[in-house]
Structure 1
Amino acid sequence: MAKEAFETIETGLKDALAFAKGDKSKAKPRTVEVPAVDVAAARKKTGLSQDKFAHIFGISPSTLRKWEQGQRHPRGPALVLLNVIAKEPKAVLRALGK
């Protein structure tokens, strides 16, 4: 059993090294669909001002304003965090000790 585990890990490492060198033949791309979020509504659920919300969650106030005005759209980890805030604002604030 330990030998099988080692061989699986070894194969994965070899594939990862090959991928890093440009060999995409064994790559298995994964995409995760994260829904768009109404940033202003998510912020309002927290009861925080734009400046306070931006400070607590590490977002520049300018970026937050642009998201709320629809001039820009959050992506990646910011979009995921905003989705969690939109659904469970108190839990996120509690987790951050706020």
Structure 2
Amino acid sequence: MSREAFNRIEQGLKEALAYAQGAREGYVVHEVEVPDPEVPAIRARTGLSQAEFARSIGVKKATLLNWEQGRRKPDGPARVLLALIAKEPGIVRRVLGKG
């Protein structure tokens, strides 16, 4: 590792520690509002079966079924990923090189 890379990593860690200890001045926090995903419509736009879609986003088919039937709601990273797919149905294939 170069000295420059080490210094940048060290500075980042110091900043993270300061932020965690309450130093907020000078830091910008970006918040993005993610809408509730319409999971069946999002999957339909991809043209994938339930099993294919679940595999493509790294969840179990049972999880996808629960989302589609409204028994559960995706949250966290899954919700963000679904929002991206809603805007660009082929994003997973294009970015990760799957097809």
Q: Which protein is bigger by CA-based radius of gyration?
A: 1
Counterpart of 1:24 in structure 2: which amino acid? Answer: G
Equivalence for 1:78:
78
Name stretches of at least 5 consecutive residues in structure 1 with no aligned partner. 1-5
Equivalence for 1:3:
none
The alignment covers a number of residue pairs equal to 88
The CA deviation at 1:92 is 3.0
Counterpart of 1:44 in structure 2: which amino acid? Answer: A
Contact 1:15 1:26 in 2 (8 A): no
1:31 aligns with 2:1: no
User: With structure 1 as the length reference, what TM-score do the two structures score?
Assistant: 0.70
CA RMSD of aligned residues (A): 2.5
The verdict on how the C-alpha distance between 1:94 and 1:26 changes in structure 2, with shifts beyond 3 A counting, is closer
Counterpart of 1:32 in structure 2: which amino acid? Answer: V
Name stretches of at least 5 consecutive residues in structure 2 with no aligned partner. 1-6
Cα distance in 1 for partners of 2:90, 2:36 equals 20
Aligned-pair identity in percent equals: 50
The verdict on how the C-alpha distance between 1:90 and 1:13 changes in structure 2, with shifts beyond 3 A counting, is closer
User: With structure 2 as the length reference, what TM-score do the two structures score?
Assistant: 0.69
Contact 2:56 2:92 in 1 (8 A): no
